[in-house]
Amino acid sequence: MPSRRSIALAVAALVSTISLPGSSVRAQTTVTSERPASFTLDNGLQVVVIPDHRTPVVTQMIWYKVGSADETPGKSGLAHFLEHLMFKGTAKHPAGEFSQTVLRVGGNENAFTSYDYTGYFQRVPRDQLATMMEFEADRMTGLILKDENVLPERDVVLEEYNMRVANNPDARLTEQIMAALYLNHPYGRPVIGWHQEIEKLDREDALAFYKRFYAPNNAILVIAGDVDLKDVRPLVEKNFGPIPPQHAIPEKRIRPQEPTPAAPRTVTLSDPRVEQPGLRRYYLVPSATTAAAGESAALDVLAQLMGGGANSYLYRALVIDRGLAISAGAGYQGTALDPSQFSISVTPKSGVEFAQIEDAIDKVIADLSQNTAKAEDLERVKTQLIAEAIYAQDNQATLARWYGGALTTGLSIDDIRSWPDRIRAVTAEQVRAAAAKWLDKKRSVTGYLIKDTAPKREEKRS
């Protein structure tokens, strides 16, 4: 199990694998799982129950509608820092008791922070749900923080930054690309934060953030597994019902938005630890929540068509036909509250210039922008995407993540369940139009990862 002390961007990536458009097309729904039940308490807590009776196990996830993009400027990394501190105990349950209980009953737990949400989950035997819910409800308002455990945890986060970002050239390139892609929107700040700002975070910062955002009317509780609504509802009402809402929390999050992109940007990261140069290009595109009808599904299909496996257009052009690259792929991060990213990633062969790679990429995009894709190619990638959606429903934790990620970024249960139908309805013309409109170089940042071969300077001796 990955350490809970991680940003867990993998969760965001998992959710985005099936990014969820905001408008629906009426068709038969290609969903094999039972429809989740949903209700909302008087204090604003939204609850989603996803039945899965194949094994006597249950997954509890609490999603708070606050992430790194909601931090006060100058205090980057605060959402992730608080995620760490949420394991430091309450007046009722001292530090470590919650985690020890999960382990003792044979369960597992984790936590994650992203741009738009922060979440905590436990997967335990069905008969332990009441205990898990009592713990989780208690720490929604009962967190106690002391300098003797806050300051060491800040050091843990700084070490995590060093390990995951400072000592990882690929992660540093992503950090720099995102900062260049978002000139005004807080998605340009790294989830883990900027090092010099993490260093200054303290107990007061964490408590103020906690009291401001951690409340039932800013949370979604997802229960997936061997449970039924009639059993879950009384437990939720007993544990979360008495918690008062935080009325200062606005119903809609409003953030600074990006100006219309006016020019392509480039970022070059040079590092002596780079063993394999790489090229990455990000485009600013609408998310599932901000897209017009049909656009997000078209971007999903476009990403699969361009970079989803060995039959994709980029792979064929760069790896098979021209022999310029070792790998090539594309992706669309659809699950986001605000405008998101469409990415292209290429690992060139030794000796191949970046200009050759970019020329090949631009030709693939130009062709997709001017000509509709072949019917058999379009059918193939839509089948792949729909199959992934159906197969993934066999994992109750994955289902809980999909629903939580979508609901915290402005989508609905119907949006999630009808996603395969919208993929099926995408036309070749919609894909062409999406490529022409959104894969405009003016909307892009291209990042180059290269090896720094400059000799190290020797220190002067006195």
Among candidates 225, 201, 242, 250, which has minimal Cα distance to 83? Answer: 201
Helices (H), strands (E): how many in the chain? 17, 11
List, in sequence order, the alpha helices (H) in 393-418.
Answer: 396-407, 413-417
**How far is it, in rounded angstroms, from Cα 195 to Cα 418?**
41
In this structure, which amino acid lies at residue 80?
A: H
83 is catalytic: yes
Quickly tell me which residue has 């059993």 as its tokens: 231
**How far is it, in rounded angstroms, from Cα 79 to Cα 61?**
17
Q: How many CB atoms lie within 10 A of CB 93?
A: 16
Among candidates 358, 247, 369, 352, which has minimal Cα distance to 302? Answer: 369
Q: How many CB atoms lie within 10 A of CB 430?
A: 18
Among candidates 294, 430, 295, 312, which has minimal Cα distance to 380? Answer: 312
Q: Provide CB contacts within 8 A for 172, sequence distance 6+.
A: 165, 166, 269, 271
**How far is it, in rounded angstroms, from Cα 76 to Cα 69?**
9
Is 41 in a helix, a strand, or coil?
coil
**How far is it, in rounded angstroms, from Cα 406 to Cα 15?**
8
Q: Provide CB contacts within 8 A for 26, sequence distance 6+.
A: 421
DSSP state of 337: S
Contact 55, 414 (CB under 8 A): no
**How far is it, in rounded angstroms, from Cα 98 to Cα 132?**
8
Of the candidates 34, 71, 83, 237, the residue annotated as catalytic is: 83
In this structure, which amino acid lies at residue 237?
A: E
Among candidates 184, 187, 217, 228, which has minimal Cα distance to 79? Answer: 187
Q: Provide CB contacts within 8 A for 105, sequence distance 6+.
A: 124, 125, 128, 131
Is 52 in a helix, a strand, or coil?
coil
Known catalytic residues?
83
